[in-house]
């Protein structure tokens, strides 16, 4: 038997050199420069390839720094595989959501939701109402992703029917969805943050009220002010045309909302997301076979018989989405969506982002940046500001919402204890920055999901995510003003 030994060129653990702050900044600086150039040169198309290349180059630079400090390629490669493994579940959900969107358009579920939304929502209150609707549903089921993938799709379609801004609508949807997600005891991150910090769930939610309620009120005020400036007469013409075309191209009925009700019920029961989404998609296909046969046949093209047409059209929708040819460009663009293939670019983006984050973490560059940030902590205000900055940085570098909560929580827990602060201050700060800012990063799993699902580029909707932008600012102000910063109770001090 051959005796395989470690090559002499492979460094031992003792040969590893701790990275410097300058080394840690180099790959981040390269990434920021390339991403800025990507947006400048390619605009809204930056997420369709240029950003992926920027992330890969950034990962390569980080790997070179790690190699220079004694890391082996084998270890770096294993860390990349582990990092990608973390993203497998979100990627599977993305593919399932792609099929869901296509199936729900084909079945008439999305067109029905749009039609009824157009009947009850006035353009002047549309943005604020969208935010409230998404907030209430997310509060009840604890999932911002589910809200965006169901009601969010319909609201985006309704905004197009009213001639309103899809970017502002996406901002309203995300603002409401993340408010509800953050405040819901059913949310994963709302349970994760207090678990990491070492406090209880309902103390955590109660403490978040002080930063979260003012933030959502400011967001609703801004959405209302934008709505008041809308020209309702122009919207009325778009509304009439859209409703007529929806009626001509789809059979519309309240029963077509059954897949939405089923999905929300299953989500509320905390059933696994992938079977839940696939159940919603299959219900959509079943209803399409009953109510939308002409649309399926038109999608299938030439086939030997009606049975094969229905089978081919349904199958096509699940993998490549629905295609509408009504003659109205606006409606066609809204309804030509979905399918697993529509998520391929998003999946590519997430994979590249996870590679960059994994290399930064394994080579110690991420930890070096966090330790450097701690050197600037001299007060309660600077501690909270540093925690917020670290959460945002973790969302950018690691591309994962959960890491942006867990990593800073572990890093700063001792510092909060040493300063005699209640752990619910830490858990609140983790959500005020980690959970909230994740959909604002295009290559973060949350940002990629929202862009892929709503059909609006992350940088396009980012300026209108008022709740997500305001919340970290309010949390920072509270920290420096020492307002609603709870001291540790005796049990914690002991």
Same domain, 56 and 140: no
Q: How far apart are CA 77 and CA 87, in angstroms?
A: 16
For 421-440, the pLDDT digits (tens) are: 999 999 999 999 999 999 99
Q: How far apart are CA 350 and CA 448, in angstroms?
A: 7
What are the backbone angles phi and psi of residue 375, rounded to the nearest 5°?
A: -65, -15
Instruction: Report whether 99 contacts 319 (CB < 8 A).
Output: yes
Same domain, 287 and 381: no
Same domain, 322 and 351: no
What is the pLDDT, as a whole number, of residue 201?
87
pLDDT category of residue 232 using cuts at 50, 70 and 90: low
What is the pLDDT, as a whole number, of residue 77?
94
Same domain, 294 and 388: no
3-state secondary structure (DSSP) of residue 19: coil
For 410-425, the pLDDT digits (tens) are: 888 888 998 899 999 9
Same domain, 379 and 444: yes
Q: Is residue 262 part of a domain?
A: yes
Same domain, 360 and 405: yes
Q: How far apart are CA 343 and CA 194, in angstroms?
A: 33
Residue 199 corresponds to which tokens in the numbers above?
A: 């406090």
Q: How far apart are CA 304 and CA 423, in angstroms?
A: 67
Domain finish residue from 294, 315, 335 = 335
What are the backbone angles phi and psi of residue 363, rounded to the nearest 5°?
A: -80, 0
Q: How far apart are CA 158 and CA 239, in angstroms?
A: 9
Q: Is residue 10 part of a domain?
A: no
Residue 464 corresponds to which tokens in the numbers above?
A: 């209108």
Q: How far apart are CA 144 and CA 151, in angstroms?
A: 11
Q: How far apart are CA 289 and CA 299, in angstroms?
A: 13
What share of the chain in percent tops pLDDT 90?
46
Same domain, 310 and 358: no
What is the pLDDT, as a whole number, of residue 233?
62
Residue 335 corresponds to which tokens in the numbers above?
A: 């309804």
Element spanning 404, H or E:
helix 401-418
Same domain, 163 and 55: no
What are the backbone angles phi and psi of residue 421, rounded to the nearest 5°?
A: -105, 140
3-state secondary structure (DSSP) of residue 458: helix
Domain count, the chain: 2
Q: Is residue 248 part of a domain?
A: yes
Q: Is residue 11 part of a domain?
A: no
Same domain, 360 and 330: no
For 140-179, the pLDDT digits (tens) are: 888 898 899 888 988 998 888 788 899 999 999 999 999 9
Interior CA angle at 396 toward 395 and 399, to 5°?
60
Domain finish residue from 295, 313, 335 = 335
Higher pLDDT, 127 or 11: 127
Instruction: Report whether 404 contacts 434 (CB < 8 A).
Output: yes
Q: Is residue 170 part of a domain?
A: yes
Same domain, 199 and 224: yes
Distances from the Cα of 421 to the Cα of 206, 370, 409, 485, angstroms: 16, 20, 14, 8
Across all residues in the chain, what is the average pLDDT? Answer: 87
Q: Is residue 223 part of a domain?
A: yes
Q: How far apart are CA 14 and CA 253, in angstroms?
A: 69
Same domain, 290 and 396: no
Instruction: Report whether 55 contacts 31 (CB < 8 A).
Output: yes
Q: Is residue 12 part of a domain?
A: no
Same domain, 326 and 399: no
Q: Is residue 313 part of a domain?
A: yes
Q: Which residue blocks in 17-108 are alpha helix, DSSP H?
A: 21-42, 50-68, 73-107
Domain finish residue from 314, 335, 356 = 335
Q: What is the dihedral of CA 425, 429, 432, 437, to 10 degrees?
A: -170
For 374-391, the pLDDT digits (tens) are: 788 888 999 999 999 999
* Domain extent for 262: 95-335
What residues form DSSP beta bridges with 487? Answer: 421
């Amino acid at each position: 038997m051959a005796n395989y030994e470690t090559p002499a060129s492979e460094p031992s653990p003792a040969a590893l050199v701790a990275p410097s702050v300058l080394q840690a900044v180099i790959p981040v600086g390269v990434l920021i420069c390339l991403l800025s150039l990507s947006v400048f040169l390619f605009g809204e198309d930056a997420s369709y390839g240029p950003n992926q290349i920027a992330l890969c180059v950034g990962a390569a630079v980080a790997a070179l720094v790690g190699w220079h400090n004694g890391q082996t390629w084998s270890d770096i490669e294993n860390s990349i595989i582990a990092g990608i493994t973390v993203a497998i579940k979100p990627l599977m959900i993305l593919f399932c959501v792609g099929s869901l969107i296509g199936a729900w358009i084909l079945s008439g579920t999305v067109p029905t939701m749009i039609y009824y939304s157009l009947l009850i929502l006035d353009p002047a209150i549309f943005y604020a109402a969208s935010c409230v609707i998404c907030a209430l549903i997310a509060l009840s089921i604890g999932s911002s992703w589910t809200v965006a993938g169901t009601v969010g799709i319909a609201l985006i379609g309704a905004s197009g029917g009213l001639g309103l801004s899809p970017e502002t609508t996406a901002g309203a949807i995300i603002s409401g969805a993340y408010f509800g997600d953050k405040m819901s005891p059913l949310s994963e991150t709302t349970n994760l943050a207090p678990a990491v910090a070492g406090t209880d769930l309902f103390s955590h939610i109660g403490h978040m009220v002080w930063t979260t309620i003012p933030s959502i009120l400011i967001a609703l005020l801004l959405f209302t002010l934008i709505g008041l400036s809308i020209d309702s007469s122009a919207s009325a013409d778009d509304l009439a045309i859209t409703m007529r075309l929806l009626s001509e191209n789809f059979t519309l009925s309240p029963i077509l909302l059954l897949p939405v009700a089923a999905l929300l019920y299953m989500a509320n029961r905390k059933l696994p997301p992938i079977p839940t989404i696939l159940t919603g998609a299959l219900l959509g296909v079943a209803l399409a076979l009953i109510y939308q046969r002409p649309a399926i046949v038109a999608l299938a093209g030439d086939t030997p018989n009606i049975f094969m047409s229905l089978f081919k059209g349904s199958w096509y929708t699940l993998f490549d989405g629905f295609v509408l040819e009504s003659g109205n460009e606006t409606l066609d663009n809204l309804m030509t969506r979905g399918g697993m293939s529509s998520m391929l670019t998003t999946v590519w983006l997430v994979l590249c982002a996870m590679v960059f984050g994994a290399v930064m973490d394994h080579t110690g560059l991420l930890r070096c940046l966090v330790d450097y940030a701690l050197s600037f902590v001299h007060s309660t205000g600077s501690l909270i500001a540093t925690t917020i900055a670290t959460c945002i940085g973790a969302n950018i570098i690691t591309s994962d919402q959960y890491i942006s909560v867990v990593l800073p929580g572990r890093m700063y827990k001792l510092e909060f204890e040493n300063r005699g602060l209640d752990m619910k201050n830490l858990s609140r700060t983790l959500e005020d920055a980690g959970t909230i800012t994740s959909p604002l990063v295009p290559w973060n799993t949350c940002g990629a999901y929202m862009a892929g699902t709503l059909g609006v580029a992350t940088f396009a909707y980012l300026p209108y995510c008022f709740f997500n932008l305001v919340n970290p600012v309010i949390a920072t102000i509270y920290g420096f003003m020492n307002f609603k910063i709870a001291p540790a109770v005796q049990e914690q001090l002991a």
